[in-house]
Amino acid sequence: MSQIKPSLQDLIGIEYIKLGFYRELQEKIIELQSSNLQLDIKQQHLQSIIDGITDVMATVSLDFKITSINRFYYDFFEEKDPIGKLCFNVFRQRNSVCPECPIFTALQTNQVQRQIVMIPIRGKIHHFEITASPLRKSDSYPIGVLILKRDVTLEKEYQAKLYQAEKMSTIGLLAASVAHEMNNPLTAISGFAQGLRRKLPVLKKNLDKSVSDEIEEYLNIILKECKRCKDIVQNLLDLGRIRQQKMTLLDLNSIIIDTVQLIRHHSKKRKKDFIKLRLYKQLPMIYGDISQLKQVVLNLLLNALDATEKKGDIIITTSKVGKELVEMSIQDSGVGIPKEYLDRLFEPFFTTKPLGRGTGIGLSTCYNIIKNHEGDIFVSSELGKGTTFTVQLPIKSIIALSST
Amino acid sequence: MRVIKFSIPEIIFGIGSINYVGLCAKQLGAKKIFLVSDPGLEQAGWVSKIIDLLQKDDLQYAYYSDITTNPRDFQVHLGAEKYLSEQADVVVALGGGSPLDAAKGIALIASNGGQIRDYEGANKIQKPLPPMLFIPSTAGSGSDISQFAIITDVERQIKMSIISRTLVPNISIIDPYLLTTKDEKLIISSAIDALCHAIESYLSKIASPFTESQSLLAIQIIFKNLKPAIETRSLDHLCQLSIASTSAGMAFSNASLGAVHALAHALGGMFDTMHGLVHPVLLPHVMKFNLPSCKEKMAHIGKILTGENKPEYNTAMSAIEAIERFFSTFNINCRLSKIVKDKSKLEPVCKMAHNDACLLTNPREATWEDLLAICEEAW
Ligand SMILES: Nc1ncnc2c1ncn2[C@@H]1O[C@H](COP(=O)(O)OP(=O)(O)OP(=O)(O)O)[C@@H](O)[C@H]1O
Ligand SMILES: [Fe+2]
Ligand SMILES: [Mg+2]
């Protein structure tokens, strides 16, 4: 107990004063200042990481209120002051929780959710890849959700185009080789049928007239159908890019005028001016294969004719887009195309027409031809109101062409 | 002259000074008071009076009163737990030495943690305590002034002295009006405690001019006023006793005490003897033992008490006689045998007292055998 026993000096206690909080306070203040500084640095560090994320980022509370956003938010969404507002209001202009809401599932399952959704923004559909991950307070129950929205519209478009192109070329090749194989038997059939017809005068002498007339009729049908088969085979061969292109300088307007003339002959029953032309007079010449481009216009026009059989008319427009493109659009006010078909139109053999009326290679042929011309073809349509097919082709200077 | 130190709390003294309790607490930063007192003061109505005053000042409070005479270590620990769980701030203590010492212990454990025995001895406290505002109700203990807290260690059966300037309260409000509810026995025993504080601090090895003047003032006032205070119960006399107690407190807080208190602490620890009862028994005998070492000072006391001016030794002896005479005018016990029935227990008491911090300043070195001799004489 000797260390407990104080000395006289201890009792006087000159070195000991009543302890106050001043020193402790001072130390606390310094401690706080330095930890504040560290927090600031950490905060800045985090902020720079967050700013480095090029996706739209937001945090949403358990009651669907936006609690924070990053600056990319403003690139996509209208609401200037989203903090505290409801996420479905701000992101989707809805009045209640979205049924497919990934936040909701993330909260329910307490797991990261991924989803691709289409959100219309200023009239254009955007594809967003949404990741929603629950924010947890030290690994316990979630206190909110972190949302990343990546705009994948472009990727989606490229992906779709690539997919389309691949499918076209395989089916095209297949079709072309089948067509090629069919060419020989077809040539044989039509050759022998012609041979038979040449023998007709002889037959007529030896046979009853009614019988020989019948034979003649059958032969004509065989030859006509052979011709039809050959056309189809030719089309299939075109699809497979087997035919050689003959590139020349050409005027798109006159290709349209020629083709429309051809059609008018075929459809004398319809009103005289049901096809209207709005052609841009100073349309630059382009470089291309005249007969192939005629085929494109023809196919699109035939489709438009089919679509406007009962009602409606057709407007063909040409124009210049920027400095590098000419554009042709064929607009009809016909039956229109259901949304779910839009993606498949350009697939070979996709058709909605009854057997014998359509084979479904018209648009895929167009697609191939335009792609070979380094152009673009696309469609917009509204069911019941009409359809517009638009073709864009590059204006290439002769100099640029001759150098390739 | 050596370097000395004299420190006391801010003192607010006078009849009605209790009304400042709310204001003072607020100035110490109070929002929720931790009020410490005991059942006796509840009965006297002083606890509710203080609570009224605090509430008038819109102060919240938590109340703790599980305290006995000779406050125990566990009572302090429970109090500190309550202080923390109530999230209280300023400690206000009302009462005699026991609630005041307990309040010091509570403030200490609440802010520094650990066990109260960790702080036994001098200057062991490392961190500041919550502000303390004390209201003494018995002109005697001096705990409202001093740097001492005496807490009983139940396991070891000893009274621990915890000594630190940090235990000096921030403010002491001394309202003599509180003495009006005290009974005769309590007035006498606390006055004699104060007298003993005055004499022991006056004779202390580290007494200084600042403490000596306070000691002598206290001795004179008590001798003059105790008898009439008991007889008349006049506020004037009670006021005087209050002044004496405060002066004695200032003296002993800075000069410490001596063998009487060393023995009183040991007896309190072992037999739970009430502190004030020990002094009349031991003071004269301790003084006789000390006389050779402080003849001059004791003679000075004798001169003041008797007015005589005889040779030094005789005057010193006359001081002791005057004190014995003074004690005998009151109906109090003066034999140790009434407190410790079994004489064989005196030895452990003296051995324990020999370790007490108060013995350090006793004017004459004393072995435990010396103390035993004193006790046997007083038995
Ligand atoms: N202008 C249009 N209006 C409405 N539907 C159209 C239009 N153009 C094309 N379609 C739809 O697209 C399908 C595919 O057209 P596509 O030209 O490829 O084949 P098709 O016309 O059916 O047959 P064919 O091989 O004889 O051209 C059509 O069956 C039709 O359902
Ligand atoms: Fe005492
Ligand atoms: Mg078609």
Q: B362-371: per-residue pLDDT in tens?
A: 999 999 999 9
Shortest-distance Cα residue to atom 1 of ligand 1 = A304
* The predicted structure's pLDDT at residue A205: 86
Q: Are strands A386-394 and A376-382 parallel, antiparallel or unpaired?
A: antiparallel
Tell me how close the Cα of A25 comes to any Cα of chain B, in angstroms.
11
> Are B174 and B188 in a shared domain?
no
**Does the CB atom of residue A359 touch ligand 1 within 6 A?**
yes
- Report the share of chain A in percent with pLDDT over 70: 91
Q: Chain A partners of B120 at a C-beta cutoff of 8 Å?
A: 4
Res. A234: pLDDT tops 80: no
Which CATH number fits the domain that encloses residue B264? Answer: 1.20.1090.10
Q: Is A120 exposed, middle or buried (0-12, 13-18, 19+ CB in 10 A)?
A: exposed
* The predicted structure's pLDDT at residue A70: 86
- Which residue is listed with tokens 């000691």? B215
Q: Which two tokens stand for residue B299?
A: 């003679």
Q: How far is the CA of A359 from the centre of ligand 1 (A)?
A: 9
| B294 part of a folded domain | yes
Q: Chain B partners of A14 at a C-beta cutoff of 8 Å?
A: 3, 5
Tell me how close the Cα of A28 comes to any Cα of chain B, in angstroms.
14
Angle at A122 between CA A120 and CA A126, to 5 degrees: 35
The number of the ligand 1 atom at minimal distance from the alpha carbon of A334 is 3
Contact A10 B121 (CB under 8 A): yes
Q: Which two tokens stand for residue B322?
A: 């005057």
> Are B341 and B373 in a shared domain?
yes
> Are B230 and B265 in a shared domain?
yes
**Does the CB atom of residue A387 touch ligand 1 within 6 A?**
yes
Contact B357 A21 (CB under 8 A): no
Q: How far is the CA of A353 from the centre of ligand 3 (A)?
A: 9
Identify whether the C-beta of residue B6 lies closer than 8 Å to the C-beta of residue B211. yes
**Does the CB atom of residue A58 touch ligand 1 within 6 A?**
no
Q: Detail the DSSP E strand segments found in A78-137.
A: 113-121, 124-136
pLDDT in tens, B17-58: 999 999 999 999 999 999 999 999 999 999 999 999 999 999
Out of A4, A10, A19, whose CB is closest to B120? A4
**Does the CB atom of residue A348 touch ligand 1 within 6 A?**
no
* The predicted structure's pLDDT at residue A151: 86
Res. A404: pLDDT tops 60: no
Residue of chain B with shortest Cα separation from A18: B166
> Are B68 and B100 in a shared domain?
yes
Identify whether the C-beta of residue A293 lies closer than 8 Å to the C-beta of residue A256. no
How many residues in chain B?
Answer: 379
> Are B196 and B339 in a shared domain?
yes
* The predicted structure's pLDDT at residue A398: 56
**Does the CB atom of residue A42 touch ligand 1 within 6 A?**
no
**Does the CB atom of residue A228 touch ligand 1 within 6 A?**
no
The one-character DSSP state at A335 is S
Q: Summarize the confidence of residues A86-100 as an average pLDDT.
A: 84
| B150 part of a folded domain | yes
Within a 10 A sphere around the Cβ of B69, how many other Cβ atoms? Answer: 17
Q: How far is the CA of A243 from the centre of ligand 3 (A)?
A: 20
Please list the residue range(s) of chain A that carry CATH number 3.30.565.10: 245-404
Identify whether the C-beta of residue B106 lies closer than 8 Å to the C-beta of residue B80. yes
Tell me how close the Cα of B338 comes to any Cα of chain A, in angstroms.
30
Ligand number nearest CA of A388 is: 1
| B235 part of a folded domain | yes
Out of A5, A14, A19, whose CB is closest to B5? A14
Q: Among the three residues B135, B156, B178, which one is the final residue of a domain in this structure?
A: B178
Q: Does domain A245-404 have CATH number 3.30.565.10?
A: yes
Shortest-distance Cα residue to atom 3 of ligand 1 = A307
> Are B330 and B206 in a shared domain?
yes
pLDDT in tens, A354-379: 876 777 888 988 998 898 899 999 99
| B1 part of a folded domain | no
Contact A4 B165 (CB under 8 A): no
Residue A243: band (very low, low, confident or very high) from pLDDT cuts 50, 70, 90: low
Shortest-distance Cα residue to atom 9 of ligand 1 = A303
Can you tell me whether residue A153 is helix, strand or coil?
A: helix
Contact B168 A4 (CB under 8 A): no
- Report the share of chain B in percent with pLDDT over 70: 100
**Radius of gyration for chain B, computed over Cα atoms and rounded to the nearest angstrom:** 20
> Are B119 and B213 in a shared domain?
no
Residues 6+ apart with CB under 8 A from B104: B93, B132, B143, B149, B162, B167, B169
Phi-psi sector, B58: left (phi>0), alpha (psi -120 to 50), beta: left
Whole-number Å distance between alpha carbons of B191 and B63:
28
Q: Which two tokens stand for residue B202?
A: 């006056």
Contact A11 B357 (CB under 8 A): yes
Residue B349: band (very low, low, confident or very high) from pLDDT cuts 50, 70, 90: very high
Angle, to 10 degrees, between the axis of helix B235-255 and the axis of helix B184-203? 40
> Are B23 and B123 in a shared domain?
yes
Q: Ligand 1, from A351, A357, A367, A369: best to mutate by most atoms within 8 Å of Cβ?
A: A351
**Is the pTM for the entire model greater than 0.80?**
no
Q: Chain B partners of A13 at a C-beta cutoff of 8 Å?
A: 5, 122-123, 147, 163-165
Please list the residue range(s) of chain A that carry CATH number 3.30.450.20: 52-151
Number of domains in chain B: 2
Q: Chain B partners of A19 at a C-beta cutoff of 8 Å?
A: 125-129, 165-166
| B108 part of a folded domain | yes
> Are B170 and B211 in a shared domain?
no
Residue B243: band (very low, low, confident or very high) from pLDDT cuts 50, 70, 90: very high
> How many helices and strands, by DSSP H and E, does chain A display?
13, 12
Burial B179-210 (b: 16+ CB within 10 A, else e): beebeeebbbbbbbbbbbbbbbbbbbbbbbee
- Mean of all residue pLDDT scores within chain A: 83
- What Å distances lie between residue A130 and A52, A155, A228, A250, CA to CA? 18, 14, 52, 48
Whole-number Å distance between alpha carbons of A128 and A131:
9
**Radius of gyration for chain A, computed over Cα atoms and rounded to the nearest angstrom:** 37
Ligand number nearest CA of A232 is: 1
The number of the ligand 1 atom at minimal distance from the alpha carbon of A350 is 14
pLDDT in tens, A145-176: 888 888 888 887 777 777 767 766 676 677 77
> Are B373 and B271 in a shared domain?
yes
The one-character DSSP state at A147 is E
Whole-number Å distance between alpha carbons of B25 and B31:
8
Tell me how close the Cα of B360 comes to any Cα of chain A, in angstroms.
6
Q: Are strands B148-153 and B132-136 parallel, antiparallel or unpaired?
A: unpaired
Contact B360 A21 (CB under 8 A): no
pLDDT in tens, B145-169: 999 999 999 998 888 889 999 999 9
E strand or H helix at B34:
strand B32-36
Identify whether the C-beta of residue A317 lies closer than 8 Å to the C-beta of residue A279. yes
The one-character DSSP state at A373 is T
Q: Among the three residues B178, B196, B229, which one is the final residue of a domain in this structure?
A: B178
Tell me how close the Cα of A7 comes to any Cα of chain B, in angstroms.
7
Q: How far is the CA of A389 from the centre of ligand 3 (A)?
A: 12
Q: Among the three residues B161, B178, B195, which one is the final residue of a domain in this structure?
A: B178
| B79 part of a folded domain | yes
| B5 part of a folded domain | no
Within a 10 A sphere around the Cβ of A362, how many other Cβ atoms? Answer: 24
Res. A14: pLDDT tops 70: yes
pLDDT in tens, B124-150: 999 999 999 999 998 778 889 999 999
| B3 part of a folded domain | no
**Does the CB atom of residue A177 touch ligand 1 within 6 A?**
no
> Are B52 and B188 in a shared domain?
no
> Are B325 and B227 in a shared domain?
yes
Which CATH number fits the domain that encloses residue B128? Answer: 3.40.50.1970
- Report the share of chain A in percent with pLDDT over 90: 23
Containing domain of residue B147, as a range?
10-178
From the list A231, A241, A313, A234, the residue with the least C-alpha distance to A277 is A313
The number of the ligand 1 atom at minimal distance from the alpha carbon of A360 is 19
Fold of the A152-241 domain: Helix Hairpins (1.10.287)
- At residue B134, φ and ψ (nearest 5 deg) are -110, 145
Residue of chain A with shortest Cα separation from B208: A12
**Does the CB atom of residue A360 touch ligand 1 within 6 A?**
yes
Q: Which two tokens stand for residue A171?
A: 């089916």
The one-character DSSP state at A240 is T
| CATH superfamily, domain at A52-151 | PAS domain (3.30.450.20)
Q: Chain B partners of A11 at a C-beta cutoff of 8 Å?
A: 122, 163, 206, 256, 357, 360-361
Tell me how close the Cα of B168 comes to any Cα of chain A, in angstroms.
7
pLDDT in tens, A268-309: 677 777 899 999 999 999 989 888 898 899 889 989 989 998
